[in-house]
Structure 1
């Protein structure tokens, strides 16, 4: 049974943030040799989307409320961007470390994702 209260994600949040940070650095790094405007746009998208769109109850300040599934997809976007860009731009040894970071982040995020997926409405915070 899924609890109505938000799971404690203090540990997973650290891994999630580390992966997001890698995405914010690696993605423009990988794209800049091909297109500087695309590199800039990637940072705007990777930072801007999760800032604007959030699930009430998961984040304190919500600009535009979205269902939990959207928040999960935004996290997955960050993780995929981090891994793909690391493999495209950096040494394979670093890319392997980024890949391991992403896998650990996914495993640690699962309780939060189950909770987010259980949210029926997104107009108000659960509980």
Structure 2
């Protein structure tokens, strides 16, 4: 077996319209497909990243909140590659998204910072 890359990351959101707006309008991910699953009363939204990977948004009634931030067991955060962390931070802040101060990765020397989606899911910008 040879893993070729990451196909998608799946996120369950508490407020589907709010998260759809955040990921498609603020983060500018392109919508591939959107489905309402009547039997589950839930939505599934497929969003494309420039490299071909995807982010999937789901809505499920009664889904529990994340237990703690950010050190709960499981996926710690989702990191996005950017060419310029400083410009990306300024853009997000212009859209009223709170962004932490830029830090330097001790091992790689690369810039990175964190922000959160509408459900407080930790997201990272990592300069490549």
- TM-score, reference length from structure 2: 0.28
Higher relative contact order (CA 8 A, sep 6+): 1
**Higher share of residues assigned helix:** 1
**Higher share of residues assigned strand:** 2
- TM-score, reference length from structure 1: 0.28
